[in-house]
Structure 1
Amino acid sequence: MRDNFFARKRMNTLLFCTLLMAVTLIAIIITDYNVIKGFTSIPKAAEWALSNFYPNEKALKRLPAIFSSMTETILVSIASTAVAAIFAMLFAIAGSQTTGVGGVISFISRSIATLFRNIDVAAWSMILLLSFGQSVLTGYFALFFGSFGFLTRAFMESIDEVSNSSVEALRATGAGYFSIIFQSVIPSSIPQLLSWILFMVETNIRHATLIGILTGTGIGFLFSLYYKSLNYSSASLVVIVIVIAILFIEAVSNYVRKVIL
C-alpha cells in the first residue's frame, strides 16, 4: 500500500509538471515569445541599469520631495488599514462560527468578505477612478476595500481558532453575548489579529506604490513622472527609498510581533 501511495504521488507530480510545461509552451507560441532572445538580453538589461539607473547629485536634490511623497503613501496605507480593521472586526464577529449569530447575518458577512477579498486593489483603483478621479481619496478607498476583505476573512479564522471551552464556561455562568466577546474571544485572539493588521500595513505600502501610478498620487506618481520623463537617476532614487521604507516597516512589524506573540 505504501509503494502504491508513493507511485501515485510520483505520477501526480509528473502529470503536474507535464501540464505546466504544456501551458508554458502554449503561452510561448501564442505570444510569439523568443526564449533565446529573452535570456540573451538579460546581460544587456543589467548593463543598462548599472549605467543609467542610479541616483546622481541632481537626483539627491529631489530627496525632500521624495520623502514627502513616501510619508504620504505610508500614512495613507496605515490609515486605510486601521479603519478597515475596525469594520473587519465587526463583520468577522458577525460571521464567525464562534461568535456569529448564525443564519442570514453570518452568510451576508462571509459573502461580503469573499467579494471584497477577491477584487484586487488595482481593480478597485480603476473602479473608483470613475467616481473620485485621480486623488488621494481614490487610493485610500482602494486600499480600504482590499484590506477590509482580507482582514475580515483573516479575523474570522483567528476568532474561530479560539478555544470553545472558555466561551462555553462564560455561557454557563450566564454571561451575555458582549461579555463573552470582550472577555474571552477578543483577548484570546488579539495577538493574531494584531499580527494580521501589521501584515496588511506592509502589504498596503507595496500596493500603494502601484495605486499611486494609477491615481496620480504618492510615491508611485513620482516614480511614473520621473521614469516617463527619462529622468532615470531620480526614478532610481525613488525605488531605493521605497525599498528602504518597506524594509524598515517590516523590521518594525517583526519586532512588534515578537513582543505580542
Structure 2
Amino acid sequence: MKFFASRFKSAWSKRLLILGGLILVYGWALRGLKLDLEMLNQSVPYTIDFISRLLPPDWSVIDVAVNALVETIQMSLWGTTIGALLSIPIALLSAHNLTPSWVRWIANLVQNAVRSVPSIVLGLFFVSATGLGAPAGTLALGIYTIGYLAKLYQEAIESVDPSSIESLRVSGASWLQIAQYGIFPQVLPLGLGYTLYMFEYNIRSASVLGVVGAGGIGFELVNYIRGFEYNKATTMMLVLLVVVIMIDGVSNQLRRRLETL
C-alpha cells in the first residue's frame, strides 16, 4: 500500500508541476501581448462599420471571381505537385532509419531553412524574378510546400515497421531498393493523404500571395480592398469559401479511402 501511495503522490506531483509550468508559460505569453481591454471595447463600433461595408456582395464580378479562382486552383495544383516531388528525396535523406546522421543533418537543415521563409517573402522573390502573375505564385507555393511535406513524409517514413527494412538490408538490398520495396508501399497511402491536405491548404495560401501580385483570386481581392470596393471583395471571399468547403469535403473522402488501402 505504501508503494502505491508513493507512486500516486509522485504522479500527482508531476502533474501539478506540469500544470504550474503551463500556467507560467501562458501567463508570460499573455503579458507579452499587452492586451488593452478598454481599447478592444472601443473598437467594436469600427469593427461593425467595416463589416457593414462588406455587405451585400456585388455579384456583378462573379465572372472575374470564377476566372481568378480557376487560376488559383491551377497554381495550387502545380505548386503542390512540384513541392511534393521535390520533398520525396529530402524526406528520404532526413529519415533516421535510412541515412547516416551527417546526411540527416544537412537534409533537416534544408527543411528548416525553407520553413523559416514566409510564403509572402517567397512570393516577393519570385515576382521580382518572373514578374507579376501566376508563375510567381506557383513557384512560391512549390517551395513553400517543400518545407512542410518533406517533414510529414519524413515522419511517415520513420514510422515504417523496422523489421521490413532490416530484412531487406540483410538480403543485400541497396539504399534505393530499400526505399522502393520497404518504404514506399507502406507510406504511400499516408503520403497521398498529406499531399491532398497540402493542396487544400495551398488554395488558401494562394489567396495570400495575391497581396504581392502573385496572381490568383488573392490578387483581385487585394485590388478591390485597396480600391475600397468592399462589396466586390466580399464576392471574392464567398466564392473562395464555397470552393474551399467543396475541396475539403472531397479530400476528406479521398483520405479516408487511402487509409483503407
For Structure 1 versus Structure 2, the TM-score category normalised by the shorter chain is 0.7 to 0.9
Gaps of 5+ in 2: 1-9
Q: 1:38 aligns with which of 35, 40, 46?
A: 40
The CA deviation string for residues 154-195 of structure 1, in whole angstroms up to 9 with x for no partner, is 111111110110111223333333332222200101111111
Change (3 A) 1:254 1:47: same
Please say if 1:24 is aligned against 2:33: yes
Per the normalisation by structure 2, the TM-score is: 0.87
Q: Give the aligned partner of residue 75 of structure 1.
A: 74
CA drift of 1:222 comes to: 0.9
Provide the secondary structure at the position in 2 that maps to 1:119: coil
Q: Give the aligned partner of residue 12 of structure 1.
A: 21
% same residue? 22
CA drift of 1:48 comes to: 4.7
CA drift of 1:104 comes to: 4.4
Structure 1, 67-76 or 171-180: larger mean CA deviation: 171-180
Gaps of 5+ in 1: 29-33
Decide whether the 8 Å contact of 1:52 with 1:233 is kept in 2: yes
Change (3 A) 1:61 1:187: same
- Give, in whole Å, the separation in 1 of the partners of 2:24 and 2:108: 35
Provide the secondary structure at the position in 1 that maps to 2:173: coil
Provide the secondary structure at the position in 2 that maps to 1:192: helix
Q: Give the aligned partner of residue 31 of structure 1.
A: none
The CA deviation string for residues 67-122 of structure 1, in whole angstroms up to 9 with x for no partner, is 0100110111111111111111012112322233x254433222111111221111
Q: Give the aligned partner of residue 53 of structure 2.
A: 52
Decide whether the 8 Å contact of 1:121 with 1:146 is kept in 2: yes
CA drift of 1:245 comes to: 1.2
Runs of 4+ in 1 over 6 A off after TM superposition: none
Change (3 A) 1:180 1:3: closer
- Give, in whole Å, the separation in 2 of the partners of 1:48 and 1:147: 34
In the TM superposition, 1:1-261 aligns within 5 A as 1-25=10-34, 28=35, 35-46=37-48, 48-49=50-51, 51-56=52-57, 59-100=58-99, 102=100, 104-215=102-213, 217-261=215-259
CA drift of 1:139 comes to: 1.1
Q: Give the aligned partner of residue 6 of structure 2.
A: none
RMSD: 2.1
Decide whether the 8 Å contact of 1:80 with 1:144 is kept in 2: yes
